[in-house]
Chains A and B, each alone.
Chain A
Amino acid sequence: GDSVTQMEGPVTLSEEAFLTINCTYTATGYPSLFWYVQYPGEGLQLLLKATKADDKGSNKGFEATYRKETTSFHLEKGSVQVSDSAVYFCALSQGNQGGKLIFGQGTELSVKP
């Protein structure tokens, strides 16, 4: 079945460092890909998405490109801030089961001043 694999955390970075969180997926067809962010004590918020190969999603300085050839959707940010500390989830959707999202296990990011 479909699945998503993320790099394990926690990831600890200094402020202004470059961030990469790896995400690869296994799926049939052409799923939509998402990054969600969960701040402490809160629900998940959509960070960015891409719906077809070579699309780049971007938001708040974060970017991810849908790479069909490598089945990847890596999250990047050029300069992280303390406020980016959160858990990041990569997910895919085949558009079935009410838009069901299949999530990776999540990657915790901690940014130190």
Chain B
Amino acid sequence: EAQVTQNPRYLITVTGKKLTVTCSQNMNHEYMSWYRQDPGLGLRQIYYSMNVEVTDKGDVPEGYKVSRKEKRNFPLILESPSPNQTSLYFCASSPGEDTQYFGPGTRLTVL
């Protein structure tokens, strides 16, 4: 089944404790992105990647890192999480600059 998977689905952590949210897609898509969803704001792009080893900032990149060492994986790294990063995070992939396919989401709470 073609899909985008994320882990964990739920995470509660404390300020400053480094964490990684994994994302993997099995559709051989070139493009991958991370978004965060906040009430009243819709989804906003954090980072994106157009190929292996090619990543760039989206609209809200502060406090986040990403890497793209393999085509299928695109982890999101929070080196020192803060409470304002409490949010619902979605990974997405696409075969080009068109329709994006979203993962199920990761709900992160930073205390």
Asked if A106 and B50 make an inter-chain contact with CB atoms under 8 angstroms apart, the answer reads no
User: Smallest Cβ distance from A66 to chain B, in angstroms?
Assistant: 15
State which size class the interface on A falls in: 20 to 34
User: Smallest Cβ distance from A86 to chain B, in angstroms?
Assistant: 14
Asked if B58 and A42 make an inter-chain contact with CB atoms under 8 angstroms apart, the answer reads no
User: Smallest Cβ distance from B57 to chain A, in angstroms?
Assistant: 9
- A96-111 residues with Cβ-Cβ distance < 8 A to B are 96-101, 103-106
Residue in chain B with minimal CB distance to A90 = B42
Interface residues as binary, B78-94 with A (CB distance below 8 Å gives 1, 0 otherwise): 00000000000010001
State which size class the interface on B falls in: 20 to 34
Asked if A100 and B58 make an inter-chain contact with CB atoms under 8 angstroms apart, the answer reads yes
| Bound CA–CA A101/B58 (angstroms) | 10
- A11-68 residues with Cβ-Cβ distance < 8 A to B are 32, 34, 36, 41-46, 49
Asked if B98 and A93 make an inter-chain contact with CB atoms under 8 angstroms apart, the answer reads yes
A residues engaging B (CB < 8 A)?
4, 32, 34, 36, 41-46, 49, 89, 91, 93, 95-101, 103-106
7 additional A-B residue pairs with CB within 8 Å, beyond A46-B100, A46-B101, A93-B97 = A43-B105, A44-B43, A96-B97, A98-B32, A98-B48, A98-B50, A100-B45
